[in-house]
Amino acid sequence: MKIRLDRVLSIVSIICSVGPVQAQNVDGITTPVSFSAISVKPSADGVNRALYKFTGDSILDVNNTVATLISIAYGLQDSRALTGLPKWALEEKFDVEAKVEPEDMEKFAGLSAPQKSKLLQSVLLERFGLKFHFETRSFPGWALVASKQGSKLTPAPLPQGEGSKKVWKITGQYQLEAENVTIAELCRMLLSTEAQSLTIDQTGLPGTYNLTLSWHRDGQNENGDVPDIFTAVKEQLGLQLVPKQLPETVLVVDEIRRPTPN
């Protein structure tokens, strides 16, 4: 159920010229990218479309919850990896724009998308007063292993590696065409979603692969000719999803507040 913001917040755009906000540590290196201004405001009523993107000089978020922003900023892949949020942070939507200092635009352009997203950490700390700690907890999940019949995967031709071209395309009614992807990427980018729980690679298969996979979701296989994700992985890839208790790092929120004007 959607809960409207407090009437005061509904008419106030919270714009702070924070001069300047230093970005958080990114991948172990303090990246000298600072924000000259941060705008935070409640999303307009009746907006159904969410947006998150980078422009040449800013990070732009439209109509997302604080829970979504935390997940983006801290790279959380599973909804179970975030806990302790109040109801408003799970339901109320905000628009956020963080503008980069003009002298830092070139440095900002040189960051990868995950590095840029990590810069949101300073926005959450500054504007939402986020305080948290990490814990390790155990959850039911899946391990991807080789089936008894053996893998049916096709190794990607050389050259392989991080600099090589990757293809990841889902077409039609759940059909994946992928090239030069690792098994870990398959687990993270597809299987954790389709199996509805964290999935890890325990196949022991190194390198990258080209693969195709066709499957259906519940209620979306009228002709009965396409297998579910578990059967598809076994029959088409020669791999198997087996249940497993998995340790997972969880971000536990200790304190957070609605953004307020200075």
Which of 87-96, 128-137, 150-159, 182-191 is least confident? Answer: 150-159
pTM for the model = 0.68
pLDDT value of residue 84: 97
Tens of pLDDT, residues 196-254:
888 999 999 999 999 999 998 876 666 667 899 999 999 999 999 999 999 999 999 99
Q: Please, what's the largest Cα pairwise distance for the chain? A: 64
pLDDT value of residue 137: 94
Domain residue limits, the chain:
7-128, 138-248
| pLDDT above 60 for 41 | yes
Helix then strand then coil, in percent of the chain rounded to 5, is 25, 35, 40
pLDDT value of residue 9: 25
pLDDT value of residue 2: 33
pLDDT value of residue 225: 76
The CA distances from residue 5 to 70, 125, 178, 258, 262, in Å, are: 19, 21, 43, 10, 18
Nearest residue to 131 (alpha-carbon basis) of 256, 24, 251, 260: 256
pLDDT value of residue 160: 54
Tens of pLDDT, residues 66-84:
999 999 999 987 788 999 9
Please count the other Cβ atoms lying within 10 Å of the Cβ belonging to residue 136.
Answer: 8
